[in-house]
Amino acid sequence: MKRLFLLCLLGMLTISSLHAANVVPQPPNINAENYLLIDAASGQILAEENVDERINPASITKIMTSYVVADSIAKGRISLDDEVFISDNAYQAEGSTTYLEINTRVKLIDLLRGLIIQSGNDAAIALAEHVAGNEEAFASLMNEYAKELGLNNTNYRNSTGYTDDMHYTTARDIATLSKALINDFPVHYAMYKEKEFTYNNIKQSNRNNLLWRDDSIDGIKTGHTEAAGYCLAASAKKKGMRLITVVLGTNSAKARINASQTLLNYGFSFFEAKTLYSPGQTIFEQRVWKAEQENVGLSSKHAVAVTIPRGRYQDLKISSNIPAQIIAPLSKDSVVGNLEISLDNKIIASAHLYPVSDIEQAGIFKRAIDSMKLWFAD
Q: Please state, in angstroms and rounded to a whole number, the distance separating the CA atoms of residues 75 and 70.
A: 9
140 classed as catalytic: no
Q: Please state, in angstroms and rounded to a whole number, the distance separating the CA atoms of residues 9 and 25.
A: 26
Query: In CATH, what is the architecture of 278-377?
Result: Sandwich (2.60)
**Which listed residue (59, 96, 159, 260) is catalytic?**
59
Q: pTM of the entire structure? A: 0.88
Same fold, 34-274 and 278-377: no
Tens of pLDDT along the chain (378 residues)?
A: 333 333 333 344 343 444 445 688 999 999 999 999 999 999 999 999 999 999 999 999 999 999 999 999 999 999 999 999 999 999 999 999 999 999 999 999 999 999 999 999 999 999 999 999 999 999 999 999 999 999 999 999 999 999 999 999 999 999 999 999 999 999 999 999 999 999 989 999 999 999 999 999 999 999 999 999 999 999 999 989 999 999 999 999 999 999 999 999 999 999 999 999 999 999 999 888 777 888 888 999 999 999 999 999 999 999 999 888 888 798 899 999 999 999 999 999 999 999 999 888 767 766 667 567 767 766
CATH number for 34-274 (one of 3.20.20.210, 3.30.420.40, 3.40.50.9100, 3.40.710.10): it is 3.40.710.10
Length of the chain: 378
Domain ranges of the chain: 34-274, 278-377
What is the sign, positive or negative, of the torsion defined by CA atoms of 336, 301, 75, 220? positive
**Which listed residue (42, 62, 299, 300) is catalytic?**
62
For the packed helices 171-184 and 62-74, what is the interaxial angle rounded to 10 degrees?
30
107 classed as catalytic: no
**Which listed residue (119, 159, 299, 300) is catalytic?**
119
Residue from 69, 101, 98, 75 nearest 87 by CA:
101
342 classed as catalytic: no
Q: Please state, in angstroms and rounded to a whole number, the distance separating the CA atoms of residues 275 and 280.
A: 13
